[in-house]
Amino acid sequence: MPALPESEAPETDTADNRRIPLARPGRGASRRRRAEILRVDHAGEYAAVHIYRAQRAVFEGRAGHEAVAADMGEMQAQEAVHLARFDALLNAERMRPTVMTPVWRLAALALGTGTALMGEKAAHACTEAVESVIEEHYADQIAELQDRDPALAAELSAFRDEELAHHDHAVAHGSREAPGYDLLSAVIKAGCRAAIRISERV
């Protein structure tokens, strides 16, 4: 069967001789799946960096919020380390990030700014919701990769531990006392899960 152009290549979970658009060079389900994992994780860390960046900017402009601004800056720096690692992996393996990157940037900045303007507890509620979804997502990937790619699984495990620390920090600082917490948390989680599904595919 002749190779299809990248734009026309169908998605498949079987290794064959068709070109696979999300994993170049090379063919096969294993490489395609690795590309999906790296791409979606890169997208998640990219969004997290911009959420914390936006929150930090809001709090830095408000008197009396120096501590929370510093917290957001520290978490932004940790997420930036994760992002740099996924950047390096994508570049080394000649895989591309999601085409949705510009959209996720705008969405993350809007989410970070909006929740920070609602107050510290709403900002922490955002952190709790985002990190809970990311933590679950990493846990699923780690379980999948333990035997097939233990080195990547170990890296994801280290990143997951830091995401859990962010989650726990948010809870300890009153995330669940935010106005409209249940609705806010549910909406953010739903958005994160939708972004994960989209980023895996495109």
Residue type, 119: G
pTM for the model: 0.83
pLDDT digits (tens, 9 = 90+) for 43-85: 999 999 999 999 999 999 899 999 999 999 999 999 999 999 9
109-142 tens-digit pLDDT: 999 999 999 999 999 999 999 999 999 999 999 9
Here the tokens at position 10 are 């169908």
CA atoms within 13 A on the CB side of 26: 13
What percent of the chain has a predicted confidence (pLDDT) above 90?
80
pLDDT confidence bin for 28, thresholds 50/70/90: low
Which of the four pLDDT bands, split at 50, 70 and 90, describes residue 2? very low
What stretches of the chain show up as alpha helix (H) in DSSP? 29-60, 66-92, 101-118, 120-145, 150-172, 181-201
Q: 58 or 5, which is more confident? A: 58
174, 121 contact by CB (below 8 A): yes
Lowest mean pLDDT among 21-25, 90-94, 106-110: 21-25
